[in-house]
Amino acid sequence: MKLIVQIPCLNEEATLASVLSTIPRTIAGIDEVEILVIDDGSDDRTIDVAREHGVHHVIAHTRRMGLARSFRDGVDFALSHGADIVVNTDGDNQYPQERIADLVKPILNGLADIVIGDRQTHTISHFSVFKKAMQRLGSWVVNLAAGTELPDAASGFRAYSRYSLYRLNVVTQFSYTMETIIQAGNKSLAIASVEIDTNPKTRESRLFSNMFEHMLRSGQAIVRSYLMFKPWAVFTVLTTVFGVVGLVPFVRYAILLSLGDAGNHFQSLILGALFIIGAGLSLALGVLSDLAKTNRILGEDQLYRLKEQQYGPAQPAATAAAAPRTPDQGRPQGSSRSD
């Protein structure tokens, strides 16, 4: 079993050393622990600090490419270097790296594909009441879209099994944390939570300058991810709403006609016609996006097989021999159809 701990960094020279020094180098059930720093075009000494502390691997972006891209590059690198489990932690020493053993345990025990460190945001003293409420709202929306019950959807302290990384394909630019949960939920991967305490705050967030920007961008990421999986549900609701609203003026007009009032009702009828056109468009979009979803499923199936060819079987040889997994099977036992 090989674990690669990846740390995406943007100008983390001040805190990276503390992160590196608290990552456990031996963990029960794991044969090798390696550290990977993904430097996203930092203009400070992040890379030097990483090298000075003897990290095993450094990916250096020539310019800033964003956290989602950095995450994907890290995962790609880790998989191609034989990682069975990938743990992600932040470079600002926000998360308790000492707890990595607890984070990987459910994966080692075959109980989870993804494990999320639950920061217990309601207890964090430097979070304002508003921020706590927004964290809760964000998790609630993600859980709704993913069909999960996770307390902390935005936490970046996570462990992923090799199998889950074969199944997940991050496509949005922002908030891969939310996107991966929505994908994992809809693909019937098993997600577990482990309660953690966070370290004291070292600096302001780099990911967003204010809460509203964060909410807006996270909201977009959630809607886009949800549309990927449930386009038909979204567009049939729109079709029904537009259709019913559009029919009202026509029904009204029919009743008035039957009562002998053939007066001038053009305005309401035009409005009704517009709504009915909207319903037709929504229906067409629903059909198109459902077809696109079919293509995505086939594309992801190909990607899964490609990853197996490129990186090797999804599970370590011993367990893979006992219970081979394919995307269609999802979890070895009791999984529902997943896409």
Task: State the residues that interact with ligand GDP by CB under 6 A.
Answer: 8-10, 12, 38, 40, 64, 66-67, 70, 90-92, 94, 156, 205-207
Instruction: Annotate each residue in 43-82 with x if it binds Mg ion (CB under 5 A) or - if it does not, as one string.
Output: ----------------------------------------
Q: By C-beta, is 39 or 92 nearer to Mg ion?
A: 92
Q: By C-beta, is 156 or 249 nearer to ligand GDP?
A: 156
Q: Which does 91 bind (CB under 5 to 8 A by kind): ligand GDP, Mg ion, none?
A: ligand GDP
Retrieve residue 328's tokens: 């269609």
Q: Backbone dihedral region of 21: left (phi > 0), alpha (psi from -120 to 50 degrees) or beta?
A: alpha
Q: By C-beta, is 213 or 328 nearer to ligand GDP?
A: 213
Kindly state whether residue 118 participates in binding Mg ion, applying the rule CB under 5 A. no
Q: By C-beta, is 70 or 180 nearer to ligand GDP?
A: 70
Buried b (16+ CB within 10 A) or exposed e, 43-74: eeebbebbeeeebebbbebeeeebbbbbbbbb
Smallest gap from residue 23 Cβ to ligand GDP (A): 14
Kindly state whether residue 94 participates in binding Mg ion, applying the rule CB under 5 A. yes
Which residue do the tokens 């990186």 mark?
311
Smallest gap from residue 124 Cβ to ligand GDP (A): 11
Integer Cα distance of 75 and 5 in angstroms: 10
Integer Cα distance of 175 and 180 in angstroms: 9
Q: Which of 73, 92, 113, 300 binds Mg ion (CB under 5 A)?
A: 92
Smallest gap from residue 11 Cβ to ligand GDP (A): 7
**CB contact at 8 A, 74 and 58:** no
Concatenating the DSSP letter of every residue in 298-311 gives HHHHHHHHHHHHHH
CB-based closest residue to Mg ion: 94
Beta bridge mates, 116: 158, 193
CA-based angle 103:109:113, to the nearest 5? 65
Q: By C-beta, is 64 or 224 nearer to ligand GDP?
A: 64
Smallest gap from residue 205 Cβ to ligand GDP (A): 3
Q: Which range binds Mg ion by CB under 5 A, 60-68, 92-100, 212-220, 240-248?
A: 92-100
Q: Which range binds Mg ion by CB under 5 A, 94-102, 250-258, 314-322, 323-331?
A: 94-102
Q: Which range binds Mg ion by CB under 5 A, 44-52, 64-72, 90-98, 195-203?
A: 90-98
Retrieve residue 252's tokens: 């009204």
Q: By C-beta, is 8 or 246 nearer to ligand GDP?
A: 8
**CB contact at 8 A, 325 and 332:** yes
Q: By C-beta, is 198 or 315 nearer to ligand GDP?
A: 198
Kindly state whether residue 90 participates in binding Mg ion, applying the rule CB under 5 A. yes
Concatenating the DSSP letter of every residue in 107-153 gives HHTTS-SEEEEE--GGG-TTS-HHHHHHHHHHHHHHHHHHT---S-T
Smallest gap from residue 115 Cβ to ligand GDP (A): 18
Kindly state whether residue 40 participates in binding Mg ion, applying the rule CB under 5 A. no
Question: What is the pairing mode between strands 57-61 and 2-9?
Answer: unpaired
One-letter identity of residue 335: S
Smallest gap from residue 313 Cβ to ligand GDP (A): 30
* Count of all residues that appear for the chain in the document: 339
Q: Which does 2 bind (CB under 5 to 8 A by kind): Mg ion, ligand GDP, none?
A: none
Q: By C-beta, is 124 or 281 nearer to Mg ion?
A: 124
Q: How far is CA 221 from CA 13, 34, 178, 215, in A?
A: 29, 31, 7, 10
Q: Which residues bind Mg ion (CB under 5 A)?
A: 90, 92, 94
